Amino acid sequence: MSLLQQIKSLIVKDLTLEWRSKYAINGVLLYVVSTVFVCYQAFKSVDTVIWNALFWIILLFASINAISRSFVQESPARQLYYYSIASPKSIILSKIIYNILLMVFLSAIAYLVYSLIFKNPVGDPLLYLLAVLLGSISFATVFTMVSGISSKTGNNSTIMAILSFPVIIPLLIVLIKLSHQALEGADRASSYGEIGVLLAINMITITISLLLFPYLWRD
Amino acid sequence: MRKIWWKILAASFVCISIVAGFIGPVPELPILNETIRNVYFHVPMWFAMITLYTISMVYSVKYLSSGKVEFDTIAVEAVNTGIVFCFLGLLTGMQWANITWGDPWPNDPKLNGSAIATLMYLAYLVLRNALEEEQKRAKISAVYNIFAFPIMVVLLYILPKLTDSLHPGSGGNSTFGDLDMDNYMRPVFYTAVAGWILTGVWICTLRYRIRLIENKRTQLS
C-alpha cells in the first residue's frame, strides 16, 4: 500500500475503534464540562485576562488527558502487528491527524460550553476561533510525539506531564497572546506575526516527529 | 581531543578576561555604571550553555544513526555540564538585574524562557532515570533531546525578539554591542566568550572520560 492509503486506513481504524467504544471522547467531554463547571463555581465571574488564561489551562489539561493514551490504548501485540504491516511514518502521521481531528472537535465543544457558562467577552470571534483551531493543532502535534516517548517508559502520566509542559509552554505563550489580541478585537494585521510563528513551530514539530518516530518505535 | 593546547588556551583566555574585565576601563553609562563588567561573565555563560546543548543534540543524532554507546554518554554529559552553566548564567543575571532593573526576577521573556529551557533539560534527565534498560534509555532520551532542541531555540532566541523585553537585542532594543560596548570592551568580551566555551567543552570531555573509566570498572567487576 502507498503511504497515503496506509494513513487513510489507519485513521479510519482509529475512528472506528473510537466510534465503537466512545470511551475516550465521552470521558474527555465529561472532563471538560465538569472542569468548566468547577471553575465557574470557584470564580463566578472573571475579567477578560483570566477568562482567556482559564480557557487555555482547561484546554491544556483536557488535551493532555485525551492524547496521552494515543499509544497505550491498544495492546503491545496489536501495536507489533501494525508495525509489521505499515511504515512508521504512516503510523505517526495517522496518529497526528487523528489527534488533530479529536482536538478540533474537543476544543470546539470546550469553547461552546465555556462561553455558554461564562459570559463570552470576545471582540473578534473569527480570530479567536482561528486561535483555538491553531491551538488544538499545536497541542495535537506536540503531544502525539511526547506521548509516543512517554508510552515507552511505562509509568505514563507523570513522565507525560514532565516532558510535555516545557515543550508546550512556548506555544502556549504565543497562543495566549494571539487569543488576547482577538479578545480585545485588535487590528488583525497585528496578529500575523503570531500566526506565522505558530505555523512555523507546527511545521518543525511535524518534521521532527516524522524523522524521529522510526527510531522510537523500533524496540 | 586529548591535545593540550586548547586547554591552555581556555585557561589563559578565562584568566585574561577576568583580569582585563576587572581592571580595564569601561565607559561610564547611566544606570549600568560599573556593572557593565558583568557582561564579561553573564553573557559567556549562555554562549557556553548553548554550545554544550548543541553538542549534546549533535551527539544524540550521531547515536541514533550509529548506535554507539559512547555518543550517548557524550550527549548526557554535555547536558549535565550545560545545566551547570545555565544556573551560573541565571545567578549572574539575577545579581545584575537586582542592581540595574531593581528586581532579581523581573517578568522578562528571556528570563522565563531560560527557566523553561532548564526545566526541559531537567525533564530529559528525569526521563533517563525513568528508563532501566540501557539501550532503550539511550534511544528514547536521544529522541526527546532532538525533539526539544528546536523548541528551546525558539524559546530563547525567537520569542524574546517578538515581545517587549528588558534585555538588549529584543523587542526593538538595540543590541548591547552596538550601543554600550566601546572598542576596548569588545576584544575582552570575545576573549571571555571563547574562554568560557572552551572551558565548558573541557569540563564536558573530562566528565565523559570519567564515565568511560567508570563503565570499564563496572564491567570488569
User: By the 8 A CB rule, do A191 and A127 touch?
Assistant: yes
Chain B contacts of A212, Cβ < 8 Å? Answer: 64, 143, 146-147
Cα separation, A94 vs A62, in Å, equals 21
DSSP A69: T
Question: Is the overall model pTM greater than 0.95, yes or no?
Answer: no
Compute the average pLDDT of residues B151-174.
69
Q: Do B151 and A153 touch (CB under 8 A)?
A: no
Q: Which residue of B has its CA nearest to A193?
A: B162
Cα separation, A175 vs A202, in Å, equals 12
Residues listed for chain B: 221
Q: Do A152 and B131 touch (CB under 8 A)?
A: yes
User: By the 8 A CB rule, do B2 and B9 touch?
Assistant: no
Which amino acid is residue A14, in one-letter code?
D
Among partner residues A145, A166, A201, which is closest to B119 by beta-carbon distance? A166
Q: Do A170 and B113 touch (CB under 8 A)?
A: yes
Compute the average pLDDT of residues B43-49.
89
Compute the average pLDDT of residues A66-82.
81
Q: Do A208 and B150 touch (CB under 8 A)?
A: yes
Residues on chain B bordering chain A, Cβ-to-Cβ distance under 8 angstroms: 64, 109, 113, 116-117, 119-120, 123, 126-127, 130-131, 136, 139-140, 142-144, 146-148, 150-151, 154-155, 158-159, 162-163
Q: Do A219 and B136 touch (CB under 8 A)?
A: yes
pLDDT tens-digit map of B72-100: 999 999 999 999 999 998 888 888 888 87
DSSP, collapsed to helix, strand or coil, labels residue A44 as coil
Q: Would you state the torsion angle of the CA atoms of residues B190, B193, B199, B204, taken in this order, to the nearest 10 degrees?
A: -140
The C-alpha cell that represents B187 in the structure block: 576584544
Angle CA B109–A60–A42, to nearest 5: 100
Compute the average pLDDT of residues A51-72.
87
Cα separation, A38 vs A35, in Å, equals 5
Residue B183 CB partners (closer than 8 Å, separation 6+): none
Q: Which ranges in chain A belong to alpha helices (H)?
A: 3-21, 23-43, 48-67, 76-85, 88-117, 125-151, 156-183, 192-217
Compute the average pLDDT of residues A70-77.
79
Residue B182 exposed, middle or buried by CB count within 10 Å (0-12, 13-18, 19+): exposed
Q: What is the mean pLDDT of chain B?
A: 83
Longest distance between any two alpha carbons in chain B, whole Å: 63
Give the C-alpha distances (Å, rounded to integers) separating B165 from B159, B174, B218. Answer: 10, 11, 50
Question: Which candidate, A101, A83, A84, places its Cα nearest to that of A14?
Answer: A101
Whole-number pLDDT of residue A186: 75
Which amino acid is residue B65, in one-letter code?
S
Q: Do B151 and A197 touch (CB under 8 A)?
A: no
User: By the 8 A CB rule, do A156 and A64 touch?
Assistant: no
Among partner residues B130, B155, B159, which is closest to A155 by beta-carbon distance? B130
pLDDT tens-digit map of A102-137: 999 989 988 998 888 888 888 888 888 999 999 999
Whole-number pLDDT of residue B142: 92
Residues on chain A bordering chain B, Cβ-to-Cβ distance under 8 angstroms: 145-146, 149, 152-155, 159, 162-163, 165-167, 169-170, 173-174, 177, 193-194, 197, 201, 204-205, 208-209, 212, 215-216, 219
pLDDT tens-digit map of B20-31: 888 877 777 666
Whole-number pLDDT of residue B51: 93
Which amino acid is residue A105, in one-letter code?
F
Cα separation, A67 vs A74, in Å, equals 13
- First-to-last C-alpha distance (Å) of chain B: 28
In this prediction, what percent of chain A has a pLDDT beyond 70?
Answer: 98
Q: Do B151 and A162 touch (CB under 8 A)?
A: no
Cα separation, A130 vs B48, in Å, equals 39
Q: Do A167 and B120 touch (CB under 8 A)?
A: yes
User: By the 8 A CB rule, do A106 and A28 touch?
Assistant: yes
Cα separation, B106 vs A178, in Å, equals 23
Check pLDDT > 70 for residue B177: no
Question: Which candidate, A141, A150, A147, places its Cα nearest to that of A171?
Answer: A141
